[in-house]
Amino acid sequence: MSKFDEHEYFKGTRTEIDEETGEIRVSAPQKTHVVRSKKQIESYKKKLQKGNGRQPEFTFSNMESIKVLTEIKDNYLGHFLYIQTYIDYNNRLVTNKRPSLPMRKADIKEYLGVGERMYQSFMSEMKKHNLIFEQDGYYYVNDNYHFRGKTNNSTVIRSFKTKIREMYGGTSARDVGMVYKLLPYVHLKTNTICKNPYEEDVRKTQAFNQMELSRLVGMKDQARLRNKMMRLKIGDEYVFGEIKTGHGTFYRINPAIFYRKRGNPPEALIEEFSIRNNFTKKK
């Protein structure tokens, strides 16, 4: 701040001592200054830290691109879905430390929680399919599959970074990989796992049944898949919701974890997962 700025900003201000209490008070012209209490300032700071109600950070996943990754093992897909939450706006893998630094081999092993053998196996598979590559000593995620920033592409789904990391830390990479396989089939408006995720008319949604889901994720045992889906949680939140109708049963994925539309999910959709959680809470 220049000397001129100081004189302009503080022009007309003065400090006074209250004769009765002995407190130091600050006074200033009303035309050029406003009064903010320390409590107001702290409250404003906290509001900024909470993000002012904005959506949490997310990455985009290209639904059409990741659909073809079915030949990759579930545990590798789980590792991939997790590690891509650490990309910057240049798609470079970076740490979540301050300051954020480009990830090295040791960082990737640490974040994935794997040893040398699994790291080599995982990276070999990633490079084979050009999902992760090295350039100038840095690691990058192929932006044909995952990226950050803005897009007009309607065939993408948002993956919320904090939730993905919690899911990865609370279950197996294989289970996370199973979830990954379903992302290309999430409906734009309802989060239903369906055959026509780009259909605008929700009355025409063709939801997958249990048998079709089993084929989709490569798990023959339908009962085992349902059990896996129904128990998968992030803290108190379920990853999947099961909706029973007079004509069958279909499934939705939690919009707090994956969501396609801009803005916040409709309250009715959030309620579905909240109600299930409230039913199953211990008294």
Lowest mean pLDDT among 114-128, 145-159, 237-251: 237-251
| 207 and 256 together in one domain | yes
What residues are paired with 135 via a beta bridge? 138
Tell me which of 53-57, 209-213, 266-270 is least confident: 53-57
- Model confidence band, residue 244 (pLDDT cutoffs 50, 70, 90): confident
CATH of the domain at 268: 1.10.10
Check residue 70 and give its pLDDT. Answer: 87
**Which CATH number belongs to the domain containing residue 69 in this structure?**
1.10.10.10
d(CA 217, CA 219): 6
Q: Give the CA radius of gyration of the chain.
A: 25
User: Considering 102, 132, 167, which residue would you say is the last residue of a domain?
Assistant: 167
Which pTM value belongs to this model? 0.78
Residue 9: pLDDT over 60 = no
Instruction: Give me the mean pLDDT over the 143-159 stretch.
Output: 94
Number of independent structural domains in the chain: 2
What is the model's pLDDT at position 47?
46
Please report which confidence band the pLDDT of residue 273 belongs to, taking 50, 70 and 90 as the band edges: confident
Mean pLDDT along residues 40-67:
68
The span from the CA of 226 to the CA of 255, in Å, is 19
Task: Give domain status of residue 23, yes or no.
Answer: no
Which range has the top average pLDDT, 109-123, 210-224, 249-263? 109-123
- Distance (Å, whole) CA 80 – CA 183: 13
Please state, as a whole number, how many other Cβ atoms lie within 10 Å of the Cβ of residue 92: 17
Note whether residue 69 is domain-resident: yes
- Specify if 91 maps to a domain: yes
Per-residue pLDDT reduced to its tens digit, 98-114: 888 999 999 999 999 99
Within a domain: 181: no
**Residue 262 maps to a domain:** yes
Domain-embedded: residue 174:
no
Mean pLDDT of all residues in the chain?
Answer: 84
Mean pLDDT (whole number) for 170-190:
95
CB-count burial class (<10 Å; 0-12, 13-18, 19+) for 261: middle
Q: What angle do CA 126, 130, 133 make, to 5 degrees?
A: 80
**pLDDT for the residue numbered 32:** 55
Which of residues 236 and 24 earns the better pLDDT score?
A: 236
- Answer whether residue 24 shows pLDDT above 70: no
Task: State pLDDT tens for residues 196-215.
Answer: 999 999 999 999 988 999 99
Q: How many residues does the chain have?
A: 283
% of the chain beyond a pLDDT of 70: 77
User: What is the mean pLDDT of the segment spanning 172-182?
Assistant: 96
Beta pairing partners, 207: 194
Q: Which of 192-201, 223-232, 270-279 has the lowest mean pLDDT?
A: 270-279
Question: What is the DSSP secondary structure assignment for residue 14, as one 8-state letter?
Answer: E
Q: Give the residue-averaged pLDDT of 220-233.
A: 92
Strands in 54-174 per DSSP E: 58-62, 132-135, 138-141, 146-147, 156-160
Transcribe 98-132 into DSSP letters: SS--B--HHHHHHHHT--HHHHHHHHHHHHHTTSE
Instruction: Decide if 190 is inside a domain.
Output: yes
**Res 130 pLDDT > 70:** yes
**75/80 Cα distance (integer angstroms):** 9
Residue range of the domain that includes 220: 186-283
Would you state the pLDDT for residue 52?
A: 46
Residues 162 and 61 in one domain: yes
**What would the mean pLDDT of 160-170 be, rounded to a whole number?**
95
